[in-house]
Amino acid sequence: MTDTRAEIIRAKGITKRFGALVAVDNVDYLLRENEVAGIIGSNGAGKTTFFNLLTGFFPPDQGTIRYKDEDITFMKPQQRVARGLMRTFQLTATFDNLSVIDNLVLAFFRAYRKSSMLQLLLNTCKGQRNDPKIVESLETFDLQDIRDRIVKHLSLGEKRRLEIAMAVLTEPKVLLLDEPLAGLSESEIKSVLGVLRQRIGRQTILIVEHKISHVEDFLERLTVMHEGRIIADGGYEETLRDPEVRRSYWQIDTSGEQDRTVVA
Amino acid sequence: MAAMSFVRWWWGLLLAFALVALVRVFLPLPFANEIIIFSIYTMGCNYLLGRIGLISFGQPAYLAVGAYAAAFYLFYFGNNPYVGILIGIAAGFLVSLAIGPLFVRLRGDYFALVNLALSVIIFYLMQKVLAGITHGDNGLWFLTNLASTPVLDLSRPDQFFIFGFLVAFVIWAFFKYLDDSIFGACCLATKLNEDKVKFLGYSSFNIRLTAFVIANTTTALAGAMYAVYLGFVSPEITSPARAADPVVVTILGGVGTLYGPLVGSIVYTGMKDVLSKVFGNWELVIGFVLVFIMLAGEKGIWGSLQPLLEKMVLRVTGKTAERGGSGQ
C-alpha cells in the first residue's frame, strides 16, 4: 500500500564523518505529513548523528535534506525552527536557571510573537505568562503545580515533560524527539507517552529511541539503524521480523526461534 | 493590587539608594562620587558576567572610549559637560556595536583575553600613537574649561554627586527592568544552554551582541562621567594593571545580583579609603578578601547577605516565601 500523504522531509545520500569514523553512511530517509515514525539502533548506530543532521546541529559531508520543496541542508537551526521543525534533546535541555513558566514563555514568544530584538526588550515575561496557550500547555502537561518552580529543582521526568511541552507549544509541523523516554520511571514514561498520543494526527512525529518496548503500540513506522546505515524501514511489526534486524540489532541467531521480548 | 506590585518592584531599589545617600554623609565627597561612578562601571561588567556569562578582562577599554570621547569634546570643541557625557555614551555604543560582532563569537577564555588585548591597544594608542591629540601620559586637562550648567552644575563635585546619584538610579532601574524582560530571560537562557536557545528559534548571537552593547555602553557612560568629574583623562584609565578591577568588584559584591555592584563598589572604594590610611598595601587585603569569598561559595557579599535579609524581612512581615522569583 503506498502512502498518499505529502512528503515533509526527504534526506538523500546523507553522510557524516567524524575523522575516520563514518557516523552516518549514505542514508536515504523520508517522512510524510502526520506520520508517527521511530528510529532505533544500538549505541553508536548513528541515530543521534542522523537526528542532528536533520535538525541542523551540524551540516552533512554529503547528501541533501529537503523540507517540503526547500533545500534545508545547510540551513541554520533558527531557520529550520521558523519553518516548523522543533526538536528536543537526549540530555534534557531546559533552562534550569528559569522558572517552569518562563521556559514556556520563551518557547511561546518566539513562536507567536515573531520576536525582533526590540520586542524582546519591550515585553516582560510577566506580561506573557497568562496567555491562554501557555495556560493550556501547563494543564495538558500537568505542570500547573510547579509552574513557578525554578527548573533545576525538578525531577528528570518533570523536566522531560517541560521540554516536550515547550516543543509542542510552538505547534511545529515536525516534532523531533531524541530519546524522550531515557532515564524515566514507568509512571513518567506513561505520562509522557500519554501526552504524545494526543499529538498524533496533528503533526509529524519522529522519535529516536534506544528501548523500543515502550513505543511499540505508538509508532506506525519503524526504521532500524546499524553502523551508520539504515538496515530496515517499514511498518513496525514487519521491520522487527526482518532477519537483518534480528541479526544485527537484536543479535538473535536467525536460524533458531527466540522470543524477542527476552531481549527487549 | 497595582500599588502593591509597584511597591514590591521599587522598594529594594529605593532602599539601596537611601543607603547610597548615607554614603554621601559618612564618606568624603570624592569617595562618594567614586563609588557612584564605579558602581555604574561595575554594573556593565556584572551584566556581562552574571546574566550572559561573558567574563571580560578588558572593561577599561570601554571606560576609556567613553572617557576619551567626552574628553576630546570638552578639550577641543566645547565646554558643556552634559554634551560631553552624551558624546561618551554615543561613542561607547558605536564602538561596542562595531567590535561586538567580532568579539561575541568567542567563547570563555578567548572573550576575556580579546577584551584585554583591546584595552592594551587603546592604552598604547592613547599613550603613544595619538600622543599629538591626547598629550600622551600628561593627559588632557579641561577642568577649568567646564561650563557651569543650570539646574545641576556638573563642574561642582557636590552637585555632580546628585547628578551621578540620579544617573545610577536610572541605570539600576533599567537593569532591573531588563531582568524582567523577555530579553533578560533570553540572556539567562543563553548563558546556560546556547544550543537550546538556537533550537527554540532565537538568534543567540544577536542576544549576546545586544547584551554586549548594552553593558559596554553603560561602561562608556561611566567613563564619560569619570572624565567630567575629574576634568582630566590620561591613558592610565585603560592601564592593563587595572583590567581586573570591575571583575574583582563584581565578584566582591556577588556575580549576577542586582545590588552586588553597588555593595562591591562601596566595599572596594571604602576599603581603599579606610585601609590606605592605615597602611599602603590595601590591595593585599582586597586579595585576601577575594580568596575568602571564592572559597566561601563564590556568592560575594550581597549574594551571601541576600538570603539572610530575605529571611529577616519574611519574619517581620510574616509572609510565606514567594517561590520562583529570579535571584536579585
Q: Which of A61-65, A89-93, A259-263, B45-49 has the lowest mean pLDDT?
A: A259-263
Nearest CB to B193 within list A57, A95, A109: A95
ipTM score above 0.85: no
* Averaged pLDDT for residues B138-158: 86
Residue A1 lies in a domain: no
* C-alpha grid cell, residue B297: 561559595
Tens digit of each residue's pLDDT (9 = 90 or more) over B256-286? 888 888 888 888 887 777 777 777 777 788 7
Cβ distance of A106 and B183 shorter than 8 Å: no
Record the cell numbers describing residue A80, joined without a space: 529550520
Contact residues, chain B, for A98 at CB < 8 Å: 185, 188-189, 326
What is the number of domains present in chain A? 1
Cell of A204: 509529524
C-alpha distance from residue B265 to each of B32, B34, B116, B213, B261 (Å) = 10, 9, 21, 22, 6
Inspect the interface and report whether the beta carbons of A98 and B193 lie closer than 8 Å: no
pLDDT for B307 beyond 60: yes
Question: Which of the residues A114, A121, A150 would you substitute to probe the B interface, choosing the one with the greatest number of B C-beta atoms within 10 Å?
Answer: A121
Q: What is the mean pLDDT of chain A?
A: 85
> Which cell numbers hold the place of A36?
508517527
Contact: B181, A125; criterion CB under 8 Å: yes
CA dihedral B152, B238, B35, B66 (to 10 degrees): 30
The x, y and z cell numbers of residue A116, run together, are 525582533
Helix (H, G, I), strand (E, B) or coil at A32: strand
Query: Structural domain of residue A53, as residue ranges?
Result: 7-263
Residues contacting A167, CB < 8 A, separation 6+: A86, A87, A88, A107, A175, A177
Distance between CA atoms of residues B17 and B15, nearest Å: 5
Three-class SS state of A93: coil
Check: CB of residue A113 under 8 Å from CB of residue A123. Answer: yes
Kindly state whether residue A2 falls inside one of the protein's structural domains.
Answer: no
- CA dist., res. A140 & res. A197, Å (int): 12
In this structure, is residue A54 part of a structural domain?
yes
Phi-psi region of B8 (alpha: psi -120 to 50; beta: other; left: phi over 0): alpha
**Cβ pair A106:B201 closer than 8 A:** no
Q: What is the mean pLDDT of residues A198-214?
A: 84
Specify the pLDDT at position A69.
Answer: 85
Question: pLDDT band at A260, cuts 50/70/90?
Answer: very low
**Terminal-to-terminal C-alpha distance of chain B:** 22
C-alpha cell belonging to residue B327: 535571584
CATH code of A206's domain: 3.40.50.300
Per-residue pLDDT tens digits for A146-172: 989 999 999 888 888 898 889 888 888
Long-range contacts of residues B162-168, Cβ cutoff 8 Å, at least 24 apart: B164/B33, B164/B36, B164/B37, B164/B40, B164/B225, B164/B229, B165/B17, B165/B20, B165/B21, B165/B24, B165/B36, B167/B36, B167/B40, B167/B221, B167/B225, B168/B17, B168/B20, B168/B36, B168/B39, B168/B40
